[in-house]
Amino acid sequence: MSKPGDYAAVRADIAALLHQPEYDDGSAGPVLVRLAWHSAGTYDAATDTGGSNGAGMRYESEGGDPANAGLQHARVFLEPVKSAHPWITYADLWTLAGVVAIREMGGPDIQWLPGRTDFTDDSKLPPRGRLPDGAQGAEHIRFIFGRMGFSDQEIVALSGAHNLGRCHSDRSGFHGAWVSNPTRMSNSYFRLLTSLDWTRKTLPNGVEQFVHHDDDLDEDLMMLPTDMALLSDPHFAPWVRTYAQDKEKFFHDFAAVFAKLVELGIQRDADGNITNADNERGGYHS
Ligand code: ZEM
């Protein structure tokens, strides 16, 4: 067991578990990034509820949400890290794992601060239905991310995470990866979105997505309807083009917005200590 507060030891153990030859494209990284994002993406600024504090996915009402299908794999990957460092909260571990995975997959350094607590019961969990639905369009995306407090530019930058990982028919119903090297962070997602031809395809399960076929690739590349909406919306599209042309700017903006994502709903004092988390009561509000 490491010394409480030894986050470097936790980071090293997360980095060491990313290589998973039997799983997906050989890395636990993408699903860990999605775990961090879904833990935080329930935030509602108007009521100051949801967000990464609490680690609500340990409870059925959030963990069993169909929007979170598959994220149990991420939580299972992290269980040995929690056992080796029992002092870290799940809420900190899940967000830190996303940050470490992004860096290890070649992405930017993202500022991360500890201090989240784990709820001790399910009374403070956000309702289901706060996460985005890939079958929808620009208006939906703006509504969902606007609720968290993100601008159009931040929404596009965050969406660049789809450079990582893949869709699974048995989780979301969508199928395939956005890029051909989905365990390496880059701006390929934006470059492919703007440069390839994408055709609508209805999968055997009735789900509609967009695909690009290339004889040289093992499988078709894919885009969700929400990904395509970034390209057709007049306020999102310029940022898609900017990030397609400028990887450094994408990395810079992505690092800032991902750091903001995992801080949603968390208030800190000047020393970085969280002032609105209370483990005993398992709530936010003081
Ligand atoms: Zn995703 N995402 N996402 N996303 N996402 C999937 C997979 C991944 C949307 C969405 O519907 C889906 C953000 C935004 C949005 C990742 C990160 C981030 C999948 C496939 C779907 C359907 C799930 C499956 O079948 O396993 C929608 C509609 C979004 C907004 C409009 C943001 C923001 C992210 C992080 C910053 C990642 C890394 C994956 C890949 C997961 C994996 O298991 O490989």
pLDDT at 278: 57
Residues 6+ apart with CB under 8 A from 250: 157, 160, 187, 190, 242, 243
Same domain, 19 and 42: yes
Write the residue with the smallest CA distance to atom 10 of ligand 1. 134
Same domain, 184 and 92: no
The two three-digit tokens of residue 259, written as one number = 């750091």
- Residue 27: strand, helix, or coil: strand
Distance from Cα 272 to the centre of ligand 1, integer Å = 29
pLDDT, tens digit, 9 for 90 and up, residues 170-214: 999 999 999 999 999 999 999 999 999 999 999 999 999 999 999
Residues 163 and 211 reside in one and the same domain: yes
What's the chain's average pLDDT?
96
Residues 154 and 115 in one domain: no
Number of H helices, E strands in the chain: 11, 5
Q: Which residues pair with residue 222 across a beta bridge?
A: 211
The residue from 113, 131, 149 where one domain ends is 131
For 258, phi then psi, to 5°, come to -70, -40
**Both 121 and 21 in a single domain?**
yes
276 is a domain residue: no
Distance CA 123, CA 281 (A): 10
- Residue 277 falls inside a structural domain: no
What average pLDDT does this structure show over 223-231? Answer: 98
Cβ 51 vs Cβ 43: under 8 Å: yes
Rounded Cα distance between 190 and 59, Å, is 35
User: What is the Cα–Cα distance from 155 to 149, expressed in whole angstroms?
Assistant: 10
pLDDT of 284 above 90: no
- List the CATH number of the domain containing 218: 1.10.420.10
Q: Which long-range contacts (CB under 8 A, 24 or more apart) does 101-104 make?
A: 101/14, 101/18, 101/28, 101/29, 101/30, 101/32, 101/33, 102/29, 102/33, 102/164, 102/185, 102/258, 104/15, 104/18, 104/29
Among residues 89, 109, 131, the one where a domain terminates is 131
pLDDT, tens digit, for every residue of 36-72? Answer: 999 999 999 999 999 999 999 999 999 999 999 999 9
On whether residue 103 sits in a domain, the answer given is yes
Kind plus residue range of the DSSP H or E element containing 177: strand 176-177
Q: For residue 196, count CB atoms less than 10 angstroms from its CB and return exposed for 0-12, middle for 13-18, buried for 19 or more.
A: middle
Would residue 209 count as lying in a domain? yes
List pocket residues of ligand 1, CB cut-off 6 Å: 30-31, 33-34, 37, 70, 132-134, 141, 158-159, 161-162, 164-168, 171-172, 174, 224, 226, 258
How many folded domains does the chain comprise?
2
Q: Rounded to whole angstroms, how far apart are CA atoms 198 and 195?
A: 9
Catalytically annotated residues: 38, 178
Percentage of the chain exceeding pLDDT 70: 97
Same domain, 119 and 156: no
Distance CA 247, CA 188 (A): 9
Q: What is the mean pLDDT of residues 91-97?
A: 99
Provide the CATH number for the domain around residue 97: 1.10.520.10
Given a cut of 60, whether residue 256 has pLDDT beyond it is yes
Which of 157, 187, 112 has its CA nearest to residue 254?
157
Residue 277 has pLDDT above 80, yes or no: no
ipTM: 0.99
User: Which residue's alpha carbon is nearest to atom 37 within ligand 1?
Assistant: 34
Examine the fold and report which residue of 78, 112, 131 is the final residue of a domain before the chain moves on: 131
Does residue 196 share a domain with residue 103? no
Q: Looking at the structure, tell me whether residues 52 and 83 fall in a common domain.
A: yes
DSSP state at residue 59? S
Domain assignment present for residue 286? The answer is no
Q: Assess whether 15 and 126 both reside in one domain.
A: yes
Region 112-116: mean pLDDT is 97
If asked whether residues 18 and 39 sit together in one domain, one would say yes
Asked, for residue 269, whether it belongs to a domain, the answer is no
Q: For the residues 218-247, what does the mean pLDDT come to?
A: 98
Eight-class DSSP state of 126:
P
Q: How far is CA 212 from the centre of its chain?
A: 24
In this structure, what token pair is assigned to residue 275?
């002032």
Q: Is there a single domain that holds both residue 127 and residue 11?
A: yes
For ligand 1, atom 12: residue with the closest CA: 134
Are 242 and 97 a contacting pair, CB within 8 Å?
no
Full domain range(s) for residue 175: 138-255
Looking at the structure, tell me whether residues 117 and 157 fall in a common domain.
Answer: no
Residue nearest to atom 34 of ligand 1 (CA): 161
Domain for residue 268, yes or no? no
Q: Which atom of ligand 1 is nearest to the CA of 41?
A: 33
- How far, in whole angstroms, is CA 226 from its chain's centroid? 15
173 in any annotated domain: yes
